[in-house]
Structure 1
Amino acid sequence: MGSYAVFLRGINVGGINIKMADLREALKDCGFADAKTLLASGNVVLSSGLDAAAVKRECEKCLRAAFGYEAWVVVMDAGRIAGLVDACPYPGDNKSTHTYITLSSDTAVLDELEAAGAALEGHDQERLGPEALAWLAPAGGTLESPFSKISAKSKFKAATTTRNLRTLIKVRDAAAALAAS
């Protein structure tokens, strides 16, 4: 039985509103009995006998059926989330800068996003592995940052999602607690 982190893309923004209690219940109804949500932005930890690719397929199918929207998720092994947090070279948030990690279920899509970010003048980013890219944004200006605008393009939606480093630390800790139980 593996422990996984599931990251939903694009909920509670743009008209797709899902209460975390409803999300948790839908996942439980689809066979993920110990699904636990964190924060209100579509972060879930759960355990399953399926591999990560199968968890992704089942979660997307479940969300589409339960909530009627084109659901996309990125699923990662709990241990990998811990490794990404540890590998991030950037500090936790400070008064001027926030650290983000873009996660992807498709290496080629993340390669394209990384190349687009590398072309931006003054943009700090570092590839953490085939599925993750860490980057910095000015505090209070994340959504307006050039990289954020690129990563929001529709061609990246189905395969990527971005989380603040603080959020990934909370997900890492919750996934570790789930694995230990």
Structure 2
Amino acid sequence: MTRYIAFLRGVNVGGVNLKMAEVTKALEAAGFTAVRTILASGNVLLDSTSDAAKVRTTAERALRDTFGYEAWVLVYDLPTLHKISAGYPFEREVADHHSYVTFVGDADVLDELAALAPGPADLVARGDGVLYWQVPRAATLSSAIGKTMGKKRYKSSMTTRNLRTLEKVLR
């Protein structure tokens, strides 16, 4: 049995409003155990005997069938998530800035994001399957990275979490 974190893309933003208790029930019905949501932004801890790829497809199917929306999920085992969090290359807490990790399931998309020119106050670094970035609070959506990540063609292969959220998930 492996403990995973499933990051649900676009939950409780942009019109996809899900109650986490209902998400838990849907994932339990799909065969996952020890399902627990963290915050209301689509962070789900769960256990499975399957590999991460199978957990992803099973979770996506369960969410699509239950809630009728185009669900996208990125899945990581907890040791991998610990490694990603520990690898954050910048100061973790900077006043008036957000520290983010963008999880990317498609190498070509990661290449595109990593090649973007950051703004003058942004910090960006490529990690193993992730993009680390730090941006002034007021500039998240207006930054080159923020604007690019909002494009529809990236929705199925990436999601971003604040570093503070990752720390809550890993507790």
Partner of 2:124: 125
| Long gaps (5+) in structure 2 | none
Task: Name 1:162's counterpart in structure 2.
Answer: 160
Which amino acid is 1:42 matched to? G
Q: What residue is the counterpart of 1:150 in the other structure?
A: 148
Q: Does the 8 Å contact 2:119/2:144 carry over to 1?
A: no
1:4 counterpart letter in structure 2: Y
- Deviation track 1:143-181 (CA, whole Å, cap 9, x = no partner) reads 2333111111111110000000011111122xxxxxxxx
State the Cα deviation string for residues 71-127 of structure 1 (Å, max 9, x = none): 0011011101000111101223332211100001222211111112xx234231111
Q: Supply the distance in 2 between the matched residues of 1:163 and 1:93 (Cα, whole angstroms).
A: 14
Question: In the comparison of the two structures, how many residue pairs are matched?
Answer: 170
* Mapped contact 1:4–1:46 kept (Cα < 8 A): yes
Q: How is 1:78-93 mapped onto 2 (pairs within 5 angstroms)? A: 78-93=78-93
TM-score (norm 2): 0.94
**Distance in 2, Cα, partners of 1:146 & 1:4:** 31
Matched residues in 1 for 2:156 and 2:85: separation? 23
- Counterpart CA distance in 2 for 1:30 and 1:43 is 17
C-alpha contact (below 8 Å) 2:34/2:46 kept by paired residues: yes
Query: Aligned to 2:139, which of 141, 144, 147?
Result: 141
> 1:108 and 1:24 mapped to 2: Cα distance?
32
In 2: Cα distance, 1:142 partner to 1:150 partner = 11
Matched, 1:59 2:70: no
Q: Percent identity?
A: 44
Amino acid at match of 2:153: K
Q: SS where residue 168 of structure 1 aligns?
A: helix
Q: What amino acid does structure 1 have at the position aligned with 2:143?
A: S
* 1:2-47 Cα deviation digits (max 9, x unpaired): 1111000011111110011111111111111211100010001111
| Larger fraction in helix | 1
Letter paired with 1:52: A
Superposed structure 1 runs of 4+ greater than 6 Å apart? none
Deviates more, 1:120-129 or 1:60-69: 120-129
TM-score by length of 1: 0.89
Q: What is the Cα-based RMSD across aligned positions, in Å?
A: 1.3
The alpha-carbon deviation at position 134 of structure 1 amounts to 0.4
Higher relative contact order at CA 8 Å, sep ≥6: structure 1 or structure 2?
1
Gaps of 5+ in 1: 174-181
